[in-house]
Structures are given as C-alpha cells and as structure tokens.
Structure 1
Amino acid sequence: MFAGIDTGGTFTDCVYLQAGKLLVEKLLSTPENPAQAVLAGLSRFPSQPQALIHGTTVATNALLERKLARTALLVSAGFKDILQIGRQNRPELYALHTEPVGALIPREDCFEVSERIGSQGEILEPLTEESVARLLQGLPSEIESVAICLLFSYRNPEHEEMLLRALQNRSWSISLSSQILPEYREVERFSTTVANAALQPVMQRYMLALKQGLLELPCRLVQSNGGSIALEEVAEQPVRCVLSGPAGGVLGAWEVGQQLGKLRLLSLDMGGTSTDVSLINESLPLQTETQISGIPLKVPMLAIHTVGAGGGSILRYDAGGALRVGPESAGADPGPLCYGKGQDLTVTDAQVFLGRIPEGIQLGGNLSLKPQGLERAFTELGKAIGLTAEKVALGALAVANARMERALRVVSVEKGENPADYLLFCFGGAGGLHACELARSLGIKQILIPAYAGVFSAWGMLFAPEIRDFSLTVLGECKGGDYQAVRAAFQRLELRAQKAFKTSLECLDCVYQVDLRYPGQSYELTVAWGPHAETDFHEKHAQLHHFSRPESSPEWVTLRLRVTRPGQKPLISAPILPQTSLSEALLFSRTVGFDSGRLETAFYQRAALPAETLIQGPAVILEETSTSLVLPGFEAWLDGWGHLWIQEQA
C-alpha cells in the first residue's frame, strides 16, 4: 500500500495504491498551510499506507512570490555585488524598457569576508579568527539563514568550513556553496546556494509540520531530478525540490510511454495555476541549469518549461486593449468566479460559460459549480472593445492556447525537434480541454490523455526511486587521456554517494558522466564517461550546433555521478472496463460554444466507456478529476488500459 500526493497551487491530488488498484482523491489546496491538505487527503483513504511519496510547489511558489526567509550572504571580499551584477545577460534582447530581476538578498545583508583562495585551491590570504569574530558581530539578529559563498571553495572548502564552525552555535540555517554546488562559475554557485539558504527555514517549517502530522508514516519528497529523498534531506537542500510537483508528471508520462512503446512524447500538464511542458525523446530529459523567476539555479533537474497559463489564470485587458491570460492566478482561494467565491474571470470560467464544463457536475467530486454570474461578467469584460460575451470567452481560450503552444515550441522547435514527430501527452485537470487545438496548431497527429489524468502527477510520483546526484569540477586537473586522474576524481564522488546512501556501491546503480567543451567555449555538453567520451562529444556538438572540431581535444570540466537505489516498481493493474455500448455511457447532449458557433455535443462518462469504440467529435468526456474535449473533426477511443486516444479524422 503506497500513496502519492501532489500539492499544487489550486488542487491537491492524491492516489492510493493497494493490491494493484488505485483510489484517487482531489481536494482544494491550503496555501496558508500546505500540510493540512496533504493530511486531509490521507484521511480519505481506507487505511494508512506503508509509505507516502509527496510532491509540492511550496519551494517554487516561495521563490516566485519572494516569500523567503531573511538571509545573510557571506562572500569573499570584493565580490559583495556579484548577485546584483550577475552575467549581464539580457532576457529580452530588443526590449527598450526592462525591469531588472532583483537579487534574493538585498545589498545590506551581504557581508564581505577577508580571505582569498586561489584557482587551484591554494590559500592566498588566510581567514583569521579575528576577522571571523568581527564579521559575526556585524550580522543582524533578525536573519534566519546564512549562505556562505567564497571564491574557489569547490577546490578548497577550508575557509567555508571554518565559518560554518564559527556559526554553528547560532540558531540559523547555514548553506555552504562547497556542499550545495561544488562546481565552478561563481554566479550560478552563489545564486543556487543563496536560494537554498533562503528556502531552508520555509521548507524546514513545512517538513516539520508534515512529520508531526504523519507521525511514523515514512515519507519521501520528489526532487526536481525525478528521484526522491527523505524529508530530513529536503530540509537541508530544498533547492533540489523546486520542480518537485511537475517532475511527477514527467515520470508518469515516461512510464506510460514505455508501457505503450511510445518513447517520443510532448507532455503537457495543465493545472489550476500553471502549465508545465516537457519533451521526452527516448529517455527522461535532464538538464543542470535553469532559471526560476530570473534566479539562476544549477542543480540536476528534469527539463521542464513552465508558463503561467492554468485553469485559474485571470483574464484581463492590458493598456493597449489586448486580452491577457495570466500569469496571475485565482488559486484555490478565492478561485475562479464559478467556484462561488472569486471575483475575477479565469480560463475555467470561459470553459464553463461555453458549456465545455457542464453545469451540475462537481469538480474533484466535491466542488459544485455556480455559473449564474458568468454571462454578466463576460458581457462586462467584452464591452470595453465591443465583443460579445461568447467572443470574449473564445478569445480567452485562444490566448491561453497560444501561450501553451509557445511553451511546447520552446521545448521542441527551439531544440531542433519537430512537434509533429511526437505524441502529445496531456494530463492535469484541464489538459484534455485544450489538447485538440494544440495538436492541430502544431501538426501533431495523435493525442493521449492517460487514465487518472486529473491526478496524474501524483500517480507518476509512485515511480520516483531514491536518486542522488553528485558533481565535482575538475577543470585544469583532469584530461581525457589521464584515466587515473579521472578515476581518482570519480572515487571522491563515490565516497560521497556511499555516505549518503549508507551502503556500498555494489547495491546501487551508478551513471558516470562528464561535461566537456572545446577550448575557448563558455558552456559544456554532458556525455557518458568512457573510452568514447570525446568522440561522443564531437557527435553531440555537431547534432546540436551543426559543426564540430574533431581535431581539437576538448576540455574536461565537471564530473557527474547519478546514483539510484534499485527497487521494485509499483505494479498497477489495468482497469476493468465495462462491457457496455457507447450509448450507455452517454450522459446527455447540450450545445457547446466553438469557433464555428454553438454545436450539439455529446457528453460521456469516461468510467462507463467501452474499450476500442470510436467516439466522433464534438464530444466531451467527463470524469471526477478532469474533463477532455473532442473537437469537431476529431475522433477518440479508449484502449484496454483506460487511456483516451484522440486524433483528427482522416
């Protein structure tokens, strides 16, 4: 018996696996106390599970909203402004007026340390006890956390560890850059460490509330890299969990893809607050760098691109009269206008007003819709530019679709991949409502909406093994031909892995990789370590950048070790589909708004659909946790696993 719970900004999704069968629950999140919704979800299951695997957006939202702990940065003398200066990259190259992204720590909370370590780890200026004492006297008592970031500490952590010992008698959380990210590039290392420090008190409070509520129930949290770790580790390195929730959906898509023999997927997870997209090309997509709300983060994570377009995204007109969707969200409280408490129109309201989500159903099985005020609200919104209520609702969905289409192009076209070569894998409570329009605009031939689509990220979390990633910069120390030097450096990582897993390497699965680059380049490509590493690098460089320099020996920059504890995957039985006719699954027919006008549309209960029976659009497939729309000109059917397939009619 296992449980997976995914806490999002709007809904908390829960799955419970017992003897191969799943029970699902969906309830509103409690942003003021996320643990409350988790514990409430567990209480709805028939018995206590053996273990809980949890995903959360608490760290993500804390970064996005800057609701972080006050943090002090201790940095090498002369580098106090490094985070404000950054790399001087311009995110909008042709924008005449841009708003700079503020650093997580204001300048007055940055403190210089009189010390210096050289590029090879040699001590150029010792750190004295007197300078440490003066530094501690100047730290404000109001801070909750400290980030210690010294130059070249990845080569020699002695000074950072000396500061750690001096601070240990304080009640502050402490993050060392030599532990969080022992890699070169000060901006990314410092920024990642500062984010970790600022998140520590926030996540420690959340982890404590969870542990107190869970009592003795074992719980692991999903990391951004698709693995899971214990709550105690999350409290120490929360930066590794900033994409905890979305990672579960990508894991689930990969599991279903392997089951069906479909290994090229474009996954789209549309929830209440945002949409997360990812491209899976025969393996899970991993990356080592990203930005969240303009903050550079350099930790291993699944390659996921997020846009602020969800069911709860608020509709508005900008100063130029253009209709905008998001990124602001109505969230769980007050929620969309049709929930009965909100004041702002949202994407979900547009779907309800057009009849695609019918009046009378309960979202998540327990939330009744109150659509009475929608027509008046859409009419008022349309008056400003002379549009009817129906046109405003359709326009809002078109804008939301455009934002999601752009996101899908970012992870496919901008990476040299044609979306038409992939299967569109849609899930989340609202993903199935937008799937057909997105597939048509991208030229995608088939859509898959999996079983349990509305709680699919929680379902995917059941497949999150225990994984840890370790890295070490060896630039200038190792060369490809020096096997002994590379092997010795990897042994340092192996010792860290054995300590973290508390077992020998023989009991673990290890993947060895190396970051390589041509001399003079600023960024690297990651390839498998082995006798053909440099050849693989040349080939990968040619594939991505359309040129290579095989006559040039690449530089070896960073070694990476990814370690997994082997375990048996949960066995989930295929659902027993009803032996009924399509007519028995028909609930009713109503008119629904489309671009071509109002059309009579059949509404089916997904749980009552027979397998391998063709459904002609327009149709709406209803279930407790999600809704799927089959546009006119499309057809759909359910396979033996309960997955819904949709494609354009020939």
Structure 2
Amino acid sequence: MGNSPKLRFAIDTGGTFTDIVVLDEDTGAFYLEKSPSTPENTLIGILNVIEKAKLDLPSVESFFVHGSTTAMNCLLERKGARTAYVTTRGFRDVPEIARYDRPELYNIKYKRTPPPVPRDLAFEVTERLDYKGDVLTGLDEDDVKKIAAILKKKDIEAVAVCFLHAFKNPAHEKKTKEILLEECPGISVSISSDIVKEHREYERSITTILDAYLKSTIQAWIRNLESELASRKFAGRLIITKSDGGGMTGDLAVENPIHTLLSGPSGGVTGGLFLANHLEHKNLVTLDMGGTSCDICVIKDGLATVKREARIDEWRLLLSTMNISTIGAGGGSIAWLDRAGALQVGPQSAGASPGPMCYPDGGAKPTVTDAALSIGYIDPDNFLGGDIPLNLARARAGIEAQIATPLAMDLPTAARGVLRLAVSNMAEAIRATTIHDGEDVRDFELLCYGGAGPLLAAYLLDDLEMQSAIVPIAPANFSAWGMLTIDIRHNFSQTIAESLDGLDLGDIEAKFAALIKQGEETLAAEGVAAKDRTILRTLDMRYADQEHTVDVAVDFAIAIEEGGSDKIYEAFTTRYKQVWGYALEGQSATIVNLRVVAMGKVPKPKLKTLESGTGEPDEALKGNRTAFSLLDGRAEDHRVYERARLRAADVVKGPAIVEEPTSVTIIPEGFRSEVDPVGNLIIKKFAS
C-alpha cells in the first residue's frame, strides 16, 4: 500500500465476512480486501483482514472507522453481563409488565420475551420525585447499601438504575451510582439520566438495562482492539459507528455501549446518503444483501429517516437508529422444504462457518450461493478473486437431492426457484418498508450492495418496477466504504411536556442552550475543531391528548422574532400534514421533547472519475458463460466482463455478467447497464 500519511481505513465485521477499505485521502483511490469473519472472536477476523490488506498501521495518521455486530450478537445470544435492576419503590415490575401490545394477539399459548433482568434481580429503593423533578421523598441511602451487599453475594457484574422522573432531576440516580461504586468495586453502573433524558418509563428502563448488560462485552471488545492496534503502532484515532449513522470515539462507546447496538448496518446507508447528495440520486432504497441477512432503508430527498425508538426482540428502546428493516435473505441463506413440502429460503444461514455447500469445508444444506453457482452465475474459480475455490459438483448435488428431487423438478428449475424466492422475499420487504413510509417504490432507485446484492439487482428492479438499480463501486465492501463518509454525531434530548399556549420561549431557549453546551463539550472532548461543528435543533410535538409525536425543525431565533409560538405552531402544522396527510388546525399543541444533534464534520472521500470510454465495453470482455435466466428459464450465452476494465459511459447489454473479485452483477436479456463517471453501474430495463 505504500507509506502515505494520508490514509484512513474502515472495517465492517459482518456475520459472514469482515471487509476492509483503505482510502488515500488526497486522491480518492482506495484498496479493499475481504476475509471470513470469526464469530468466536471478531478481533481475529479484524487482524486477519488488516494483514491480508498489507496495511502499514504506523503510516495511518488519520482514523480507523469500525462497525460491528458485537453488541447485537451479545444481546441475541444472551451473553451479556449478569445484571441487576434498581428502581423506585413500587416500580420493579415495569420491565415485566412492558406494553400492552403483542405480536401474536390471538395465540393463547403465546409467551412474551422476558426482560433481560430476571425479577429476583430487580430491587427497589425508597425515593420519589414528582413529574417536575421536585423531591417528594428523599433517597434512602441505607436501602442502596443493603442492595449493594446483596449484589456482592450474587456476583452481579452490572447494575442499571432507573428512577421515576429521573429525566427531570438526576440527583438521586447519581448518588445511587456513587454509593454502588463505593460499595461494590469493579461493578459497572448505568443510570438512565446519563443515557436518555426522556419520559416513557418502560422504554427508559429497558434502554438502561441493556446498556448495563452490554457494557462489559463492549468494553472488552474496544479495549482489546485498542490494545492490538497500539501494539502495531497505529497512530490514528479509532471511531466506532453508531446506530444513528454517526460515529463516536472508543471511549464513548465503552461509556455508552447501547449506541453500538445497530452499529453494523448503518455504514452502507451512510454511504448511500453520500451518493444521494453527490450524484443526484436523491431518492434511493438501499439494499445490503450480504452473506447472512438483507438490510433495507429508504432515502428520500437525500435524507434517511432516523427513528427515536427501536425494537429488539419485543423490547422497546429509546434509541436513535437508522430506519433499517432486516430480513433473513443473504448469500448464505439456507434453502429448505417445510412440512407441507413448500420451498423456503432463510432466515437460517450457513454463515461463515460452515458456509454454503460449495465451500471447501461447507455445510450440509444448500444455500442461495449454491443455487447461483449451479446455474452459471458465479465462476467457481474466481470467488473472492480465487481465494475460496468453490465445489460446483457438491453445490449441484445438494440442490438436486434436497430441493429438485423432492419437488419433482430438474436442477436448473429448482435453483432458479431458490433465487426467485429470495428475490420475492426481498421485494416484499422493500414494498412493506416504502408503503409504511407512505412512498411509492416506483419513484425510487434501488442501490444494491453487499456481496450478493448485485447478483439479483436487475431481477428486483423488474419485480418492483423501479426506475433503475445502482451497483456502487466495490459493492461487497460498500458498507465499509460508507463508514469512511460518516460524521461524528451525538444526540441530546430533554422531556418538557409543555403546552404551546402561553409558552415561555425564553425558558425553552435556555433549556436548548444547556443541551447545546453538552453537545459542544462532547465534540470538544473528541477533538472536533469549532469550525467543524454543526448543531441541529428539533422539537417533538403532538396535539393535546395525543400519545405519539412528530419531529419539527424550527429556527428559534426567527420564531421569537417573527411571531413566537405562532411560528412554531405553523411549522408543526406543516410537518404534521407531511406525516399524516391532514392536520387538526386550531387544536392546542404540546412540545414533548427538545432535541439537539451535535455533529462534527469529517472530510469526505473524493470520488475518483474514470477515464471516458466509447460506450463499447469490448476491452473489458473476458469470455462467455452459459447461465439460466430467472425471467423465462432459458439457458443463455452470457458475455462476461471484467468490471475493473470498464470505462465511464460504457454500456453492457444483457444477457451479460459483470465480474469483480468479490461480487457478480447479472444483466438479464432486456436490460442494460451504463457506467457512470465515477464507476457505478446504472441498470435499466429496455423500453419495450
């Protein structure tokens, strides 16, 4: 790679592969590699891919951005710390009671997912604040000390503290944390007032509990990574991607591990946002189809929706996250027959180990990758640039024995059925996501990435009747590339729940000022220069007596100068109409939460422009290969092109296959792909 001091790099640890992208900040040139993930110890996979990329860590003086599923895996596998819960007397059952809704309303045998802390580890303390944060009953410190003694006997590793109305006054929580740390050396303590200063008692308690539950795992992950980097004389900064698409330092990730819960999928969406705002593709549906799952997100007018609540299993969290939907459809998704004999694909995955049947030490069940290999879409000698030779005969035997023979069909038809079902599952997930957002999917372009995304991009385009499909440069490593475009981002909020009628805007401005100060101090501590800081302010508002809110962007200086509350009400009415299609004009409105987003701008990668071609891709032609169409089932002779040799404005007409070391793009008959100035493939259907 050379010893350029202007390097930065990103690593995305997925369920199947660990990806690295190394970027030259001056030229925009980048280098990428891919290595199998190591679920038993993700650090091994990270070090393996760094070594494979021959990256000279001492030469990297910029930063290393890392996204991982470590937190999510810890939670799903229930491998977090032994955690206790401390709350206001009378409220220990809030996590047990949860919310009234349930996913299987008519299932009389349904059992709710239990809270992450069992009831015998939930403790109560005598203390009480009113809804304004005023003290009704002082904190009984002896109660806290008695609980501390029990915690030591029970070998508790982490404690979550969530008192009623602590978002208004954190004094009791802070004192409780102080006592617990004194009485139980080595224990970790999470308090709700440090994590989320908002109402909704159940969500606040679950968010705090999960933060405590994850803390030791995330601390070990970050500190071990930092130690390995230091031993290799890495001189730059470590940035961890957050659930909301921003980044934070390793120290803050250790302090607030809950924000890493959806760290992994956000990188690709951030990359999609970058492309949306630099290449005039403003309306995108991003589709990240990797080895294990498929992540979907909608970008409208160059913006992705950030949700204020998240759901993990059946738990609700007060956590800002990208609005990403996930289904079990990846290259490693297993094809199987249910008890009725119907073909199914996923959600189970062969993962990195044992992997698809065609892998050298592959599993015993056929996958999407085996199906694609069986009908000619993948070159068995060029998978991962030849690093993993694929066994075509074993893949075909698996499809034949487990799918084709039981369904009384030939092998190509069975393999096509596996891929068509994967396309159908993803198309339905995309429709559900866009319809939920009130959008028509036909008004969007499809951005397909991940190792398996380009394989089925054209077929998804056909199924959904979308405008075009975009396959970005380095699609298999696009999530890692997208991480190089993130900004430092922190969210701060405060519940006030005050009517807009007669509201003291000066008081609101003072509360905003306090949140902004927190944001400025956090960015300063992370080394973000004042000139690179941006502060965004929004309000969560609703009509009186409603439960849920809409977010409203308001310039307070203008609002105070041009009409005060009336200006805010006008902005609320406009936003409410955008979300719901109507407004209850004239009805009283309430400001529920104040929100501040503190952002530290990070220099963005330069997009390297390709040499212009003539429109004819003959120089990139590698040869021909027979493959079966998913549209009509015919075996067709496909021209095979090497993507690295395609030039800007080159047009590839189907049937064709565009190969690169880590991915394959299929261009069916009736479709064409044009290379844009920076190397993206733009796939469109021929006008009939």
Partner Cα distance (1:479, 1:234) in 2: 40
1:591 equivalent among 612, 619, 626: 626
Identity between Structure 1 and Structure 2 (%)? 34
- What is the CA distance between 1:524 and its match in structure 2? 0.5
Conservation of the 8 A alpha-carbon contact between 2:21 and 2:33: yes
Instruction: Say yes or no: does 1:166 pair with 2:182.
Output: no
Judging changes above 3 Å, is the alpha-carbon distance between structure 1 residues 458 and 617 closer, same or farther for their aligned structure 2 residues?
same
- What is the CA distance between 1:479 and its match in structure 2? 6.0
Matches within 5 A, 1:348-497: 348-363=369-384, 366-382=387-403, 383-476=405-498, 481-497=503-519
Matches within 5 A, 1:296-315: 296-315=316-335
Conservation of the 8 A alpha-carbon contact between 1:381 and 1:392: no
Residues 579-588 or 178-187, more deviating? 579-588
Partner Cα distance (2:670, 2:514) in 1: 59
Say which SS state the counterpart of residue 135 (structure 1) adopts.
helix
What corresponds to 2:276 in structure 1? 257
Say which SS state the counterpart of residue 394 (structure 1) adopts.
helix
Partner Cα distance (1:95, 1:541) in 2: 36
- What is the CA distance between 1:81 and its match in structure 2? 2.2
- What is the CA distance between 1:481 and its match in structure 2? 3.8
Conservation of the 8 A alpha-carbon contact between 2:310 and 2:320: no
CA deviation vs aligned residue, 1:1-26 (integer Å, no higher than 9, x gap): 11111111111111111232101111
Residues 518-527 or 70-79, more deviating? 70-79
- What is the CA distance between 1:477 and its match in structure 2? 8.1
- What is the CA distance between 1:191 and its match in structure 2? 1.1
Judging changes above 3 Å, is the alpha-carbon distance between structure 1 residues 580 and 366 closer, same or farther for their aligned structure 2 residues?
farther
Conservation of the 8 A alpha-carbon contact between 1:580 and 1:609: no
Judging changes above 3 Å, is the alpha-carbon distance between structure 1 residues 536 and 272 closer, same or farther for their aligned structure 2 residues?
same
Conservation of the 8 A alpha-carbon contact between 1:26 and 1:364: no
What corresponds to 2:356 in structure 1? 336
Instruction: Say yes or no: does 1:242 pair with 2:261.
Output: yes
2:533 equivalent among 496, 501, 508: 508
- What is the CA distance between 1:285 and its match in structure 2? 2.1
Partner Cα distance (1:348, 1:509) in 2: 44
- What is the CA distance between 1:594 and its match in structure 2? 2.5
The one-letter amino acid of 1:309's match is: A
Say which SS state the counterpart of residue 363 (structure 1) adopts.
helix
Judging changes above 3 Å, is the alpha-carbon distance between structure 1 residues 634 and 494 closer, same or farther for their aligned structure 2 residues?
same
Say which SS state the counterpart of residue 102 (structure 1) adopts.
coil
2:56 equivalent among 47, 53, 56: 47
Residue ranges of structure 2 left out of the alignment (5+ in a row): 1-6, 560-566
Residues 193-202 or 319-328, more deviating? 319-328
What corresponds to 2:562 in structure 1? none
Say which SS state the counterpart of residue 252 (structure 2) adopts.
helix
Conservation of the 8 A alpha-carbon contact between 2:308 and 2:320: yes
Matches within 5 A, 1:47-446: 47-48=56-57, 49-50=60-61, 51-93=63-105, 98-139=110-151, 140-169=153-182, 170-215=185-230, 216-217=234-235, 218-282=237-301, 283-341=303-361, 342-363=363-384, 366-382=387-403, 383-446=405-468
- What is the CA distance between 1:72 and its match in structure 2? 0.9
Partner Cα distance (1:414, 1:570) in 2: 33
Partner Cα distance (1:129, 1:639) in 2: 66
Partner Cα distance (2:374, 2:75) in 1: 34
Partner Cα distance (2:651, 2:106) in 1: 49
Residues 213-222 or 315-324, more deviating? 315-324
1:28 equivalent among 26, 33, 36: 36
Say which SS state the counterpart of residue 52 (structure 1) adopts.
strand
RMSD over aligned Cα atoms: 2.0
Partner Cα distance (2:542, 2:457) in 1: 39
What corresponds to 2:570 in structure 1? 535
CA deviation vs aligned residue, 1:411-465 (integer Å, no higher than 9, x gap): 2112110011111111111101111121112110211111111111111111111
What corresponds to 1:604 in structure 2? 641
Partner Cα distance (2:386, 2:539) in 1: 49
Partner Cα distance (1:222, 1:492) in 2: 26
Partner Cα distance (1:163, 1:128) in 2: 9
Instruction: Say yes or no: does 1:640 pair with 2:688.
Output: no
CA deviation vs aligned residue, 1:306-347 (integer Å, no higher than 9, x gap): 112111112222223222222222111111111122222211
- What is the CA distance between 1:626 and its match in structure 2? 1.3
CA deviation vs aligned residue, 1:280-322 (integer Å, no higher than 9, x gap): 1112322211212222122222211111211111222222322
Matches within 5 A, 1:519-534: 519-530=544-555, 531=559, 532-534=567-569
Judging changes above 3 Å, is the alpha-carbon distance between structure 1 residues 590 and 175 closer, same or farther for their aligned structure 2 residues?
same
What corresponds to 1:568 in structure 2? 603
Judging changes above 3 Å, is the alpha-carbon distance between structure 1 residues 593 and 97 closer, same or farther for their aligned structure 2 residues?
farther
Conservation of the 8 A alpha-carbon contact between 1:634 and 1:646: yes
- What is the CA distance between 1:581 and its match in structure 2? 5.2
Partner Cα distance (2:500, 2:569) in 1: 13
Residues 337-346 or 8-17, more deviating? 337-346
Judging changes above 3 Å, is the alpha-carbon distance between structure 1 residues 238 and 578 closer, same or farther for their aligned structure 2 residues?
farther
Judging changes above 3 Å, is the alpha-carbon distance between structure 1 residues 491 and 480 closer, same or farther for their aligned structure 2 residues?
farther
What corresponds to 1:10 in structure 2? 16
1:547 equivalent among 566, 575, 582: 582
- What is the CA distance between 1:388 and its match in structure 2? 3.2
Partner Cα distance (1:365, 1:578) in 2: 28
Partner Cα distance (1:456, 1:212) in 2: 27
Conservation of the 8 A alpha-carbon contact between 1:68 and 1:198: yes
The one-letter amino acid of 1:153's match is: A
Residues 291-300 or 13-22, more deviating? 291-300
**TM-score with structure 1 length normalisation?**
0.96
Conservation of the 8 A alpha-carbon contact between 1:480 and 1:556: no
Say which SS state the counterpart of residue 291 (structure 2) adopts.
coil
Conservation of the 8 A alpha-carbon contact between 1:39 and 1:214: no
The one-letter amino acid of 1:571's match is: K
Partner Cα distance (1:25, 1:533) in 2: 50
- What is the CA distance between 1:164 and its match in structure 2? 0.2
CA deviation vs aligned residue, 1:202-257 (integer Å, no higher than 9, x gap): 11110011001111432111111121111111011111122212111111111112
The one-letter amino acid of 1:45's match is: K
Conservation of the 8 A alpha-carbon contact between 2:491 and 2:595: yes
Partner Cα distance (1:46, 1:76) in 2: 52
Say which SS state the counterpart of residue 441 (structure 1) adopts.
helix
Partner Cα distance (2:655, 2:344) in 1: 27
Partner Cα distance (1:96, 1:618) in 2: 52
The one-letter amino acid of 1:564's match is: M
Conservation of the 8 A alpha-carbon contact between 1:611 and 1:638: yes
Residues 311-320 or 420-429, more deviating? 311-320
Partner Cα distance (1:331, 1:568) in 2: 35
CA deviation vs aligned residue, 1:84-122 (integer Å, no higher than 9, x gap): 221121224566654422322222222222222221112
Partner Cα distance (1:403, 1:340) in 2: 28
